[in-house]
Structure 1
Amino acid sequence: MKILFLHGWQSRPGGLKPSYLLSRGHEVINPLLDDDDFEAAVDTAQSALEIHRPQVIVGSSRGGAVAMALNSHRIPLVLLCPAWRLWGTADRVKTGTLILHSPADEVIPFTDSRYLVDNSRPAVVTLITVGSDHRLADPDSLQTMLRACENHGTP
């Protein structure tokens, strides 16, 4: 499966989560997103989406806000602790979006994801509670992210 992975603020391509997906046999497109210019980050991600045509888009933290700003059509979104209140202007997501977030997140409040789910109605959005911090780097969180991609990436 082809996955577009959008990293968080001050992160770089090739981190733990995209490497985990790659190690499980998936093709991962992981562009370097501009940390200082949100619109430039969105443009980079939109270009990668149009060139590579992924089956799933994963956005981690600020990458989640970037994912929400994309013209992603029917491509499913998997958002990891999305930092939508800090960047961009989107405050809703489309039907089928999965959000993974830890109630113990010390960077992005869990309540932000609850609000996003409620504010996106009537869209059907699923919030999955997982992990013990913002990174979602523990084995259970990584496995949950993998399942979310695999279950939503097939038509």
Structure 2
Amino acid sequence: MSEAKWYILHTYSGYENKVAGNIMKVVENNNLHHLIEEVMVPTETVVEEHDGKTKTYESKLFPSYVYVKMILTDESWYICRNTRGCTGFVGPGSKPIPLTDEEVKNLGVTTKVAEISFAVGDTIKIVSGSLEGFEGTVDSIDEENGTAQVTVSMFGRPTPATVEISAVQKVEI
């Protein structure tokens, strides 16, 4: 399973999309997907009717905030904190505090549902994350948390690992 957790960045008003875009640009340019997995600005579609005209637009759910799913390291902290328009992390003294699983669920920031294309006992290949390239066998699947318990051969030994369902592909024999 990914060790990445959700953090909240505070930005200047109106800079949310610019901050999110700039962070993702740095991640792309420096190939840091293993540190910063996802950046988002939660929005909702609003429909307004005024003078008989209907207007539809995206409204930010939490103005001045950007959500970042990352593994907290000096490098990932520095990238986020020094992005133009970012005023700091949400937490005491701007010290990043990860959201709890319950907070993440309540905020609805994880709407991705991974499709499970394998079953317990299947041979799989890990296609992303720190174990990318390893093959193994599925021991169990935890749909609620979006993870699978697999056994991979590491250093010639069977090693249990928990990986995200989206990081696993069934090996066709």
Q: What's the TM-score bracket when you normalise by the shorter of the two chains?
A: under 0.3
The higher radius of gyration belongs to 2
More helix as a share of residues: 1
Q: TM-score, normalised by structure 2?
A: 0.24
More strand as a share of residues: 2
